[in-house]
Amino acid sequence: MSVIAIIGALDTKGTEFEFLKNQIEGRGHKTLLIDVGIKGASGLMPDIPASAVASAAGENLGDLAAANDRGRAVAAMARGVCEIVTGLWREKKFDGLISMGGSAGTSVGTAAMRALPLGVPKVMVSTVAGTDVSDYVGVKDVVMIPSIVDVSGINRISRQVISQAAGCVCGMVETEVPEGEDRPLIAASMFGNTTDCVQAASKNLEAAGYEVLVFHATGVGGKTMESLIEDGFITGVLDLTTTEWADELVEGVLAAGPKRMEAAARNGIPAVVAPGCLDMVNFWAPNTIPAKFEGRLFYEHNPNITLMRTTPEECAELGRIFAEKVNLSTGPVTVFLPLKGISVIAMEGQPFHWPEADEALFSAIRENLRPDISVREMEVDINHPSFSEAAWKELLNLINK
């Protein structure tokens, strides 16, 4: 019999959570109720009380209530519930997770969900589910269900929504994923301007017995790749498109955050890394580009994406950051530098060809990289067949060391 954890702020009645609990148990599953509220006792007794959640966050529940600081309370209970559910999951105490709430409840519930690995059933019934929920979902497989009405008691609408949400999480828990040919996974980063390189490498790596997961370097792609590496799914990393760092530095729209390039390094995963597409910063349509960038070199990638060329000064800083991230490596890593072009449009004769900027990037990488890290410099562009071949062969070499 499966156990489904329920996270909720239980008020003086808790009728909606009692209804959810009954719906799940009525489908033949057990429940594990975790209270994340701070308003006091509820008629519905939790399996894990709010005091335990607060304690897991290093707080006292009474102090949180007395402080009357909603922001502090939400942050504390989110921290605490993350500690609680990750511990319970390691101990195999539940099989799926569901929560309900408004913006605060959604923040707490989804924090717990994001702390769990990919594949754990996660369902959030939320009043904000009809809006941009990217910050709540992050890079995890969280199912967001609009509550339609406030999560406060049972009525004609909430009865239907909560019943179906219960059916959703129960169905997810009951579903058996069919077995497949589970080959070792390699993560690869790709952009339109490095497609030829990565596709050729992927084909050869798959022929060598690996399954290649390609992540488009659009911010969420990089974040997702880092998350899967962190969760232990990945055997090797072909990170040839580190362009998201250009957006992070120069305030583009496709940044992946300051932890990009850290997961493989810190976890000792074999990696081949290149400064692919660091010649470009991404913006939406031309009329959305901030005025401070007026006069810069732009290229229309498509009607909705405009690329801006990075300057020598920006490239020098990007090279320093690139080296700083690679220097975190605790496992085997090799840096590849395509000296004749880090993207399709950075090659000679193309719009972003700027040798001084490229050299500033390469020089900063050379000067800041740890002396023990191998660097392969090739007199070709990043999409040249010889570059792709050298990169994938080197990754296999590092994996098999």
Range of the domain at 170: 3-174
Task: Verify that 27 and 145 share a domain, yes or no.
Answer: yes
Q: What average pLDDT does range 151-180 have in this prediction?
A: 95
Sheet holding 143-146, edge to edge: 30-35, 3-8, 96-101, 122-126, 143-146
Alpha-carbon Rg for the chain, nearest whole angstrom, is: 24
CATH number at residue 138: 3.40.50.12020
Residues constituting the chain = 401
The answer to whether position 113 is within a domain reads: yes
- Please count the structural domains in the chain: 2
Q: What average pLDDT does range 237-258 have in this prediction?
A: 98
Q: What average pLDDT does range 119-129 have in this prediction?
A: 97
Is the pLDDT assigned to residue 11 strictly greater than 90? no
Q: What average pLDDT does range 355-384 have in this prediction?
A: 98
The answer to whether position 180 is within a domain reads: no
Asked if residues 197 and 170 have their Cβ atoms less than 8 Å apart, the reply is no
Confidence of residue 13 (pLDDT cuts 50, 70, 90): low
The answer to whether position 327 is within a domain reads: yes
Task: Verify that 227 and 128 share a domain, yes or no.
Answer: no
Q: What is the mean pLDDT of the chain?
A: 96
Task: Verify that 169 and 189 share a domain, yes or no.
Answer: no
Integer Cα distance of 231 and 267 in angstroms: 10
- β-sheet bridge partners, residue 132: none
Asked which of 123, 144, 174 is the last residue of a domain, the reply is 174
Integer Cα distance of 131 and 147 in angstroms: 12
Task: Verify that 230 and 342 share a domain, yes or no.
Answer: yes
The answer to whether position 196 is within a domain reads: yes
State residue 401's pLDDT score: 86
Integer Cα distance of 249 and 307 in angstroms: 14
> pLDDT tens across 312-368, in order?
999 999 999 999 999 999 999 999 999 999 999 999 999 999 999 999 999 999 999
Assign 85 to helix, strand or coil: helix
Q: What average pLDDT does range 278-296 have in this prediction?
A: 97
The answer to whether position 179 is within a domain reads: no
- Spatial CA neighbour of 312 closest among 352, 355, 273, 366: 355
Is the pLDDT assigned to residue 31 strictly greater than 90? yes
The answer to whether position 353 is within a domain reads: yes
Q: What average pLDDT does range 100-105 have in this prediction?
A: 95
Q: Exposed, middle or buried: residue 178 (CB in 10 Å: 0-12, 13-18, 19+)?
A: exposed
Integer Cα distance of 225 and 269 in angstroms: 13
Task: Verify that 205 and 256 share a domain, yes or no.
Answer: yes
Residue 204 CB coordination number (10 Å) = 17
CATH number at residue 349: 3.40.50.12030
Confidence of residue 294 (pLDDT cuts 50, 70, 90): very high
Integer Cα distance of 99 and 384 in angstroms: 50
State residue 179's pLDDT score: 84
Integer Cα distance of 179 and 189 in angstroms: 26
The answer to whether position 248 is within a domain reads: yes
Asked which of 150, 174, 198 is the last residue of a domain, the reply is 174
State residue 377's pLDDT score: 98
Three-state secondary structure string covering 48-84: ECHHHHHHHCCCCHHHHHHHCCHHHHHHHHHHHHHHH
User: For residue 311, what are the CA distances in angstroms to 18, 210, 316, 339, 380?
Assistant: 59, 38, 9, 17, 21
The answer to whether position 352 is within a domain reads: yes
Task: Verify that 79 and 160 share a domain, yes or no.
Answer: yes
- Spatial CA neighbour of 316 closest among 345, 354, 350, 344: 354
Q: What average pLDDT does range 252-270 have in this prediction?
A: 98
Confidence of residue 123 (pLDDT cuts 50, 70, 90): very high
Integer Cα distance of 168 and 301 in angstroms: 40
Task: Verify that 344 and 232 share a domain, yes or no.
Answer: yes
Task: Verify that 196 and 318 share a domain, yes or no.
Answer: yes
User: For residue 221, what are the CA distances in angstroms to 229, 303, 357?
Assistant: 12, 21, 26
Task: Verify that 199 and 106 share a domain, yes or no.
Answer: no
State residue 1's pLDDT score: 86
Asked if residues 129 and 105 have their Cβ atoms less than 8 Å apart, the reply is no
Task: Verify that 108 and 211 share a domain, yes or no.
Answer: no
Task: Verify that 150 and 196 share a domain, yes or no.
Answer: no
Residues 6+ apart with CB under 8 A from 356: 312
Confidence of residue 12 (pLDDT cuts 50, 70, 90): low
Asked if residues 102 and 76 have their Cβ atoms less than 8 Å apart, the reply is no
The encoded tokens of residue 43 equal: 């008629």
State residue 41's pLDDT score: 63
Q: DSSP code of 241?
A: B
Task: Verify that 286 and 240 share a domain, yes or no.
Answer: yes
Is the pLDDT assigned to residue 272 strictly greater than 90? yes
Q: What average pLDDT does range 72-101 have in this prediction?
A: 98
Is the pLDDT assigned to residue 220 strictly greater than 90? yes
Asked which of 153, 174, 195 is the last residue of a domain, the reply is 174
